[in-house]
Structure 1
Amino acid sequence: MKQRAWFQATCPDPAFRNGQQAVKDAKAACSISEWRDEDTLDTLAAAYAETGDFASATRYAAQALTIKDIPPLDAKRIQHHLTLFQQNRPIRL
C-alpha cells in the first residue's frame, strides 16, 4: 500500500499519478503502522501534496519529523520534502 501510494503521488509521468488514491492508500498504511512510522507519514504528506492540499502535506511531514529516533538521513529527506510543501510544490522523482 505504502509503495503504491508513494508511486502514485510522486511519479514524474502524470499518467501514473493519482493523488486521491494515494491519499487513501497512505491513510490505510498509516493506520496499520498506528501513525508511528515516519516514512508512511511522509508518504501521506506526498499524497496530499499531489492533490494540492499543501496544508495537510505540511502537517503530516512535520508530524513525521516528530517520530522518535528517526535516522538522520531520513530526517534530512523529510525536511527537504517539508520545504517543498511549504513552497506549494509536490515531490517529483
Structure 2
Amino acid sequence: MSCLRSQGGAIVNVSSVHAVATSTNIAAYAASKGGLLALTRAMALEFAQDGIRVNAILPGAVDTPMLQAGLDRGHVQGSDLQVQVHDLGRKHPLGRGGATG
C-alpha cells in the first residue's frame, strides 16, 4: 500500500451480482460477495484521501461449471441446461451472458 499511497492508483475487486441480487441455495456465496462489496466501499472511503480509487465489478451470468451446477440444482424439468444458460443471459443488458476463454 505504501507504493500506492505515494503515487495513487486503483484497486479493483471482483465480486458478483449475487452481492446485490441473489437466488436460493447459495447463501454462503452471496454473503461472501456481499462482504467483499462492503469491504470495497469501506476501502474506497479510507483510501480516497491518498488518491487511491477502489472499485468492484459484479459480473452476472458467465457460462462456467459453477453456473451450470447451480442451474442443475434448480431442477427445472424439461429444460435443457444450455437453454437455461441462454435464457439467463438474455436478461442482461447486452442480451447475453458471459463466456470464459
Tell me the TM-score normalized by structure 1: 0.27
Normalising by structure 2, we get a TM-score of: 0.26
Q: Where is the strand percentage greater, Structure 1 or Structure 2?
A: 2
- Structure ID, larger Rg: 2
